[in-house]
Amino acid sequence: MTTVRTAVVLLSGGLDSATCLAWARTHGFVCHTLAVDYGQRHRVELDAARRVAAVLDAASHREVKTDLRSIGGSALTAAVDVPKERTAAEIGSDIPITYVPARNTVFLALALGLAETLVAADLVAGMNALDYSGYPDCRPEFVRAFESLARVATRAGVGGTEYRIHTPLMSLDKAAMIRLGISLGVDFGLTHSCYDPAPDGAACGGCDACVLRRNGFLAAGIADPTRYALTARSG
């Protein structure tokens, strides 16, 4: 008798999380996706998450609202300009203003709560230690620490459930992520990465997320399906 393996997949609607969902399904998980409406300026990613969840046959898709704008401290949740046209070296040199304080801690806590409700021991997330813009909550140390927390902070954990956070993209660069996603059948035209999209949802082309995404497609030798704003830099 085959045991059904259930996983909660954090799905932002971006390239990374879409690849993670495809990876989880390929590895036999029944996937329940979770998107978080945290007051981000690029809320268009929530629409992308719905599209990706539907196309990749998630067993269910949920959106949870939590107001991180009331905390602020980030260009994604406050009236602060999003940095543009930074080089790859600059992107990886510091913790940028697009870092949202405790965001991944909050996201994983919500995913953990859903996992406990679903009697699931597996969480899947798109953290990455290479193309991660310097965010401290995208490192392996953070993920392992949260796994330890899950085992002592939940009824299921105290009862013996060994929670596992799968981060299949942790050691991949953006080009490798794109190649993996393509091999798993991901349609990246459904996804959204831009931090500062135009009113019609077109990507700005200059924020860190756009730069990493565009350079990834170039390095992978794969056509970039992203719809950029007319004012975005070409090439």
Q: Where are the domains of the chain?
A: 5-220
Distance CA 123, CA 111 (A): 7
In this structure, whether the domain defined by 5-220 belongs to CATH 3.40.50.620 is answered with: yes
**pTM of the shown model:** 0.93
pLDDT in tens, 94-152: 888 999 999 999 999 999 999 999 999 999 999 998 765 678 899 999 999 999 999 99
* Contact of 110 with 64, CB cutoff 8 Å: yes
Tokens matching residue 60: 């269910």
* Contact of 104 with 74, CB cutoff 8 Å: no
36 DSSP β-pair partners: 64
pLDDT in tens, 201-220: 999 999 999 999 999 999 99
Instruction: Name the least confident of 5-9, 95-99, 231-235.
Output: 231-235
